[in-house]
Amino acid sequence: MRRKGSGRDENGLTPEDRRIWNRITGTVSPPRTRKAARVTPGAEAPAHLIAPIPDRPLSRAEKPPAKTAPARFARTEPTSEPRPPVRPTPSRLRPAPEDLEPRRKQRLSRERDPIEARIDLHGFGRFEAEDQLRAFLTGCQARGLRAVLVITGQGRLGGGVIRASFAEWMQSPALRGVVSGFTSAHRRHGGDGAFYVTLKRRD
């Protein structure tokens, strides 16, 4: 409330104080409020909103993590190592001896085809008999003979060791290039205790 006789208003200012205050406030403009700039997606941001690039290099802690490209695995083709050539064995090159044809056996039994040599293996052990038979047949082939007689014997009760091993010896790789066929002999030449053996021509 304004006091009477003091010359001051309700704020305690004199007319001179009010005049000075009005002069000061007339020179001051109130601050303006700025609205936030609206940025459209895809548009370039205003220059005052872009953070300045520092002149110094960033430290390891300030650097953003580097993007690593996904690892690519090279496609490796299966390598096939060259296989060593397979060497043919004698058993692949030369077929095993076969049984003689009935007509050939009949001609040998009647000696229409001559029996050109013979060997008797009685009295030899198994391994010695095999060596003697191999040397005999190889020598006959070298001489150009075509049919021979091998006497093995029947052994006691027909269980002779040499006779039982004869077929195995004929089909061995050592004799496949020598013997073409064999069969048991006729009774006049020893029957079951002897064999007709035909030989291949020498290469």
CA distance 189 to 203: 30
43, part of any domain: no
pTM beyond 0.75, yes or no = no
In this prediction, residue 160 carries a pLDDT of 83
> 10-residue block means of pLDDT along the chain (203 residues)?
56 75 70 58 54 57 61 57 57 66 92 94 92 96 96 76 92 92 93 94 82
76, part of any domain: no
In this prediction, residue 150 carries a pLDDT of 96
Number of structural domains (the chain) is: 1
81, part of any domain: no
9, part of any domain: no
- Pick from 151, 122, 143: which is nearest to 202 by CA? 143
In this prediction, residue 123 carries a pLDDT of 87
CATH number at 125 reads 3.30.1370.110
174, part of any domain: yes
**DSSP single-letter state for residue 171:** T
Please say whether the beta carbons of 36 and 28 come within 8 A: no
86, part of any domain: no
3, part of any domain: no
Range of the domain at 135: 95-199
In this prediction, residue 72 carries a pLDDT of 62
1, part of any domain: no
